[in-house]
């Protein structure tokens, strides 16, 4: 089907787009929804929350800021428990 026809229909009837694709279209546009569907169409895909997606990045930041005893500061700054920070740094 011609994408221009889909695009026009999507713009006119935005409320009829399946969730969460309506949110993707609202944030990123029609082409993003099409690219998403072309790459992942037909698959069952789990999309984790933002915190989970970036957890390893936050852990790396905490490691880089570790000064030998600032477990509590790092846990508060990055939203991990102090126990998690200690385990992550190999200091149970």
CB of 59 closer than 8 Å to CB of 89: no
Phi, then psi, of 20 in degrees rounded to 5:
-90, 10
Domain count, the chain: 2
In a domain, 36, yes or no: yes
Structure confidence by residue, pLDDT tens digits, 19-73: 888 888 888 889 998 998 999 999 998 888 888 888 888 899 999 999 999 999 9
| Confidence band, pLDDT 50/70/90 cuts, at residue 92 | low
Structure confidence by residue, pLDDT tens digits, 11-31: 888 788 878 888 888 888 899
Same domain, 56 and 75: yes
In a domain, 58, yes or no: yes
Planar angle of CA 60, 81, 61, nearest 5 degrees: 15
Find the domain containing 59 and state its range. 50-88
């Amino acid at each position: 089907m011609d994408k221009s026809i889909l695009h026009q229909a999507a713009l006119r009837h935005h409320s009829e787009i399946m969730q969460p694709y309506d949110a993707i279209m609202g944030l990123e546009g029609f082409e993003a929804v099409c690219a998403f569907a072309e790459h992942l169409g037909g698959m069952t895909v789990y999309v984790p929350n933002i915190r989970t997606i970036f957890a390893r990045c936050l852990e790396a930041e905490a490691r880089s800021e570790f000064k030998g005893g600032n477990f509590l500061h790092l846990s508060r700054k990055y939203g991990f428990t102090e126990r998690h920070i200690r385990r992550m740094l190999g200091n149970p």
